[in-house]
């Protein structure tokens, strides 16, 4: 089957390579164009190395880019991690339309932070959907869904790289095969069950130490590595990343330091104790929590806000 691919980053590159390995003829590729002084996008590089002339994804919003996309003569479009809002004409250019990967079980968790929120909400299952995009935000008919568990200590990073990334590449390959065989369904979503969350940005990633222990831990997990949950000490922001939660009961105020050692430090929560192992001081790189605590002079009894 002759396909066109719109995507970016490692996921877009992996989908590109997988479809070619499966025998698909990639007619065109669109990815973010290289920016001066920045590392080229992996999908852009892979396409160029394969002898294709990639099209800047932003250019698909203009007449010249759309004309080039239409001229490719693809039978099916494949969207593999796309952050641009593209016009309907770009999606309709391939003869059989365009399919898109979304990392949630649509109609649940529509929006750009579909992987963060299930973890933050403490859910135990999520998955992915390959669907036919329309003019709404993640509202188009479903081609297929795949489910996966969210472990109690999973982070955004482990969920994506260990499950949703490889599952997503496999799902796109399966979806293309179904389309080629003329067996790709278009199942309307149950819009009455839909949920939509806003982007998980820094404003929503602030830790509120008075909340229940599990809710604090789930926020940290769901923001690790991006956008990074954070707190403050002495007016300076501190990102909080790798942690462990225990159900130990301890006296004191939420966010208070119970212990400090070379590995990290323990904080009292409402209903548990948080072992902090990796942090990011404001304006600096991530570092071991024990090293930061030593350099910052963190002591038992100190409290984060």
Averaged pLDDT for residues 98-119:
98
In the structure, what pLDDT confidence band is assigned to residue 253 with cuts at 50, 70 and 90?
very high
Q: Is 16 helix (H, G, I), strand (E, B) or coil?
A: helix
Q: What is the mean pLDDT of residues 276-286?
A: 97
pLDDT band, residue 205 (cuts 50/70/90): very high
Mean pLDDT of 102-118: 98
Residue 260, strand partner residues = 265
For 2-193, the fitting CATH number among 3.30.70.20, 3.40.50.300, 3.40.50.170, 3.40.640.10 is 3.40.50.170
At 45 the three-state DSSP class reads helix
Give the containing element (helix H, strand E) for 165.
Answer: helix 165-180
Predicted local confidence at residue 192, as pLDDT: 98
The token pair at 76 is 């099916």
Q: Are 243 and 230 in contact (CB under 8 A)?
A: no
Q: Per-residue b/e over 105-130, b at no fewer than 16 CB within 10 Å?
A: bbbbbbbebbbbbbbbebeeebbbbb
Class of domain 202-296: alpha beta
Ranges of each domain in the chain: 2-193, 202-296
pLDDT over 70 percentage in the chain: 100
């Amino acid at each position: 089957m002759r396909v066109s691919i719109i995507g970016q980053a490692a996921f877009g590159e992996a989908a590109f390579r997988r479809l070619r390995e499966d025998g698909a003829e990639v007619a065109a590729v669109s990815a973010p164009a290289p920016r001066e002084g920045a590392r080229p996008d992996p999908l852009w590089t892979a396409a160029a190395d394969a002898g294709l002339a990639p099209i800047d994804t932003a250019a698909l919003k203009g007449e010249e880019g759309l004309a080039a996309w239409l001229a490719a003569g693809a039978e099916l479009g494949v969207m593999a991690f796309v952050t641009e809002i593209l016009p309907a004409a770009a999606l309709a250019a391939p003869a059989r339309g365009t399919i898109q990967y979304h990392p949630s079980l649509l109609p649940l968790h529509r929006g750009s932070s579909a992987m963060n929120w299930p973890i933050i909400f403490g859910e135990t299952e999520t998955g992915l959907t390959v669907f036919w995009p329309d003019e709404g935000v993640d509202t188009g008919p479903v081609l297929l869904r795949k489910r996966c568990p969210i472990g109690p200590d999973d982070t955004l990073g482990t969920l994506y790289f260990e499950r949703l990334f490889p599952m997503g590449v496999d799902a796109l390959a399966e979806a293309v095969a179904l389309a080629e065989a003329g067996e790709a369904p278009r199942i309307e979503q149950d819009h009455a069950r839909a949920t939509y969350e806003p982007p998980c940005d820094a404003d929503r990633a602030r830790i509120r130490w008075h909340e229940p222990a599990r809710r604090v831990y789930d926020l940290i997990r769901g923001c690790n590595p991006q956008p990074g949950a954070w707190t403050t000490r002495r007016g300076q922001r501190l990102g909080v990343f790798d942690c462990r939660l225990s159900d130990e009961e301890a006296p004191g105020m939420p966010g208070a330091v119970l212990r400090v050692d070379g590995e990290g430090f323990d904080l009292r929560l409402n209903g548990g104790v948080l072992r902090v192992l990796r942090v990011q001081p404001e304006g600096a790189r991530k570092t071991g929590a024990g090293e930061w605590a030593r350099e910052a002079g963190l002591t038992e009894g100190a409290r984060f806000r």
